[in-house]
Amino acid sequence: MAEIYGQPVARETPAVHKFGGSSLKDVTAISSVIRTIRSHVRTEDVVVVSANGGVTDQLIQVFNDGTHRLPALRESVQQLVTTVLDQPDALLVSLLEDLELLSSGLSQTTLSVHDVLAYGELWSAQLLSARLHELGIPNHWRDARDILTVDAQNNPVNPAKAVQILLDSKGEGIQILTGFLARNEAGQGITLGRNGSDYSATLVASLLRSSAVYLWTDVDGVYTADPHVIPEARRIPTLTLGEAQALSELGSHVLHHKTINPLLQHPARIIINTCDSDTLGTDVVEQSRAGEGQVKTLAHKSQLVQLTLAGIHELRTRQFQAELTAGQINQYACHYDKTRQVLQLCVEQVDFFRTSQLIRQAGLTLVQQLSGVSLISAVGHNIRQNHRVISQLLGRTARFDVLNIHYPGNDHTLCVLLADEQAEALLADLHAACFDLAPSIPIVVLGYGNIGQQFIRILKDNKASIEQRVKQSLSLVAVANSRHYQYAGECLLDEVIVPDQDNTSGEIYQRLSDYINKPLVLIDLTASEAVAARYPEFVANGWHLISANKLVAADDIRASHLEAELEKQHRRWLTNTTVGAALPIQSSLRKLIESGDQVQAVNGVFSGSLSWIFGQYDGQRPFMEWVRQAHANAYTEPDPRDDLSGQDVYRKALILARQLGFNEARVVFTPAIPDELMAGTLEQFWARSAAIDEHVAGLWKAANEQGKSLCYLASISSQEINVSLQLIDQQHPAAGLRPGDNIFVIDSAWYAGNPLVIQGPGAGREVTAAGVLNDLIEVLQSA
């Protein structure tokens, strides 16, 4: 076990740690780096540093604009040294000497841009080394130009010599190495391109056969997208080496160009994190089966220039691309058309001038250039083998002005080129499609009474769990009753729902015209004929239907026509709450039939409201008081006469009879309360309460004298549909029914002599709303 400044970490070979310029930009950042070195770096490890943040930019200004820029550079570097070091004098003397050499060399034009930019890394390495010495941490700093020699493609020359130099220094404490710097084969100092320190780190790790490379940067890992652009982006725990290489080739802010290349022959783990992080960062491993075929991240490179060169043969194309690489010009979305001899590629705006010079020097023909181009790339292991992913990505780009779809030479990437102005919108759209819940089909609720309010309450209270179940976000866009409506482009579940816009003339339907021929789920929680009459219109609009409204479902002609249109539109109509509220009566009958059983009859109590009213009534309290209480509890229809007339049960019987194919059966129907007692307006009905009480009391007394109970029953068979108020004895299946429960007794070929019984609550806003929710989930999962 080697000595470590902090906790012991077992590793087989030296690790390499790279600290970027943002991690070394000021005294606070450098203090964080020191803490990271104490806790993660061993004495034999190598630390690679970039120039302190902002210094490279200042050096570029000095080189381009002249020595009058030197005072500002001197002041900022001196300030950094004096704030970081307790004893800065020795380093300040060295720094001033460097600045004099820099001034002299620029005046005599003896320094190349590589020579000038090298000072940033040299000062950064010396500053960190000096601070570590002040803290008693053994180390020494090295100029990477004394170690690394590379060819025109930045591949190492004489790697054995470099390895020997690195290994000879192992006993001297932590090696601090300048990133970004090397020598070419002629012995000249060069730089390795923008963000070349990452390449330095992985190149050294490859030479040392390191087990791990730590890239300490300004973010705690690779994210599903740039979190500065997409705030919802989240950290990715693991990437494969192939995914990381693809990402580095796309100009990623975290994994830079060519970073991964040195590790392809000798793989090492790459851990990407930020100093003082409370996360594990992103771990780049050689292989992983996790997430295969799925998009892991979206890379975004903007301010590109797309160039088209004509009349260039294939060999010259490769030569020209090699010349760009030698000039440290990164290329993106390269495509060569052999038949037309056309090369198309993108370069960064800052590289356009030098690229243009190379094009002219090579005698090539530039036929088109397009500025302000962005490259958005989906990256994931083998995503190009997943046709669903490709279809999804291409489908999301349909409403954007895409310049080109690019397929790089690996199976892990799919790229889209488009104008900068549209790039962030497409990035957000793709991120939502790939990493968030899929956008839901818009939902509209007609009927904002007891059941409607309860249904929306359930949606609000359980939104997150429902979304995870259907793998979609919930989007309630409109709520309406016969008088008012509320409409929003966004989800109403995130608002206080107060329908207050006039709907007396059906204004809501005009608002919904935007969704014609677009998917939408319309939920009818009314008992309205006016709404039911619009069902053909809803279906013609291409909408899914969920009905608690029984009017169409109980009408064979209307229902058959609707189902035929639904089939043409490939839309669904669910009516499971029209009978039994949330009880699975319709689905159970459907499954019996589909499995080959033959249902002969269904008998029982089909009305939860009448079950509750007659179950509670004992001849003591007036009957209509129980009706009023049932109405207040939303056990009845909005007009309780729909229940007391038996029409509600009659419609349920017709719905089940239609499902079973018993449409030709004769009908015997008797209201629970005579028609003459319910004629006229609703107010007149309530005014007849005394007469209704007297009528029911007489029926109850007669039943009680015979030891029987009053029960409103329905029975369905191929011969007869019977709905009537009956006297039942204590052995009847409905005799012991809890008030409010439904019971369905199913006789079939498989259940002959021992009927299948489905029993449970058949009334109340809660159970009906729950049944509607089940229907909604079924539609969303299948849509």
b/e per residue 587-613 (b: at least 16 CB within 10 A): ebbeebeeeebebbbbbbbbbbbbbbb
| Crossing angle of helices 585-594 and 647-660, rounded to 10° | 20
SS3 143: coil
Identify the three-state secondary structure at position 561: helix
What CA dihedral angle connects 486, 488, 492 and 497, to 10 degrees? -30
Report d(CA 45, CA 208) in Å as an integer: 10
CA distance 226 to 131: 33
Closest CA to 338 of 308, 313, 306: 313
101, 102, 103, 109: CA torsion to nearest 10? 100
Q: Are 41 and 5 in contact (CB under 8 A)?
A: yes
Residue 241's nearest CA partner among 211, 267, 203 is 267
Asked whether 142 and 179 are in contact (CB, 8 A), the reply is no
- Measured CA to CA in angstroms, residue 405 lies from 257, 373, 408, 414, 424 at distances of 21, 13, 10, 8, 17
3-state class of 366 per DSSP? strand
- C-alpha 678/C-alpha 584 separation (Å) is 32
DSSP 84-99: H-SS-HHHHHHHHHHH
Closest by CA position to 309, among listed 239, 363, 348: 363
CA nearest 270: which of 328, 181, 203, 178? Answer: 203
The CA distance from 739 to 649, in Å, is: 16
Residue 594 CA to residue 733 CA, distance in Å, equals 27
Instruction: Tell me the sheet residues that pair with 353.
Output: none
3-class secondary-structure state, position 187: coil
**Which residues are designated catalytic?**
652
**Residues found in the chain:** 783
From first CA to last CA, the distance across the chain in angstroms is: 59
- Residues sharing a CB contact under 8 Å with residue 112, sequence separation 6 or more, in sequence order: 188, 189
CA geometry: angle at 14 spanning 9 and 15, to 5°?
75
The three-class DSSP label of residue 541 is coil
Nearest to 736 by CA among 622, 620, 604: 604
120 Cβ neighbours under 8 A, 6+ residues apart: 50, 51, 52, 55, 56, 59, 180
Phi, psi of 522 (to 5 degrees): -105, 125
Q: 23: which DSSP letter?
A: G
Number of neighbouring beta carbons within 10 Å of residue 281: 22
**CB neighbour burial string for 469-486, b if at least 16 within 10 angstroms, e if fewer:** ebebbbbbbbbbbbebbb
Tell me if residue 542 falls in helix, strand or coil.
coil
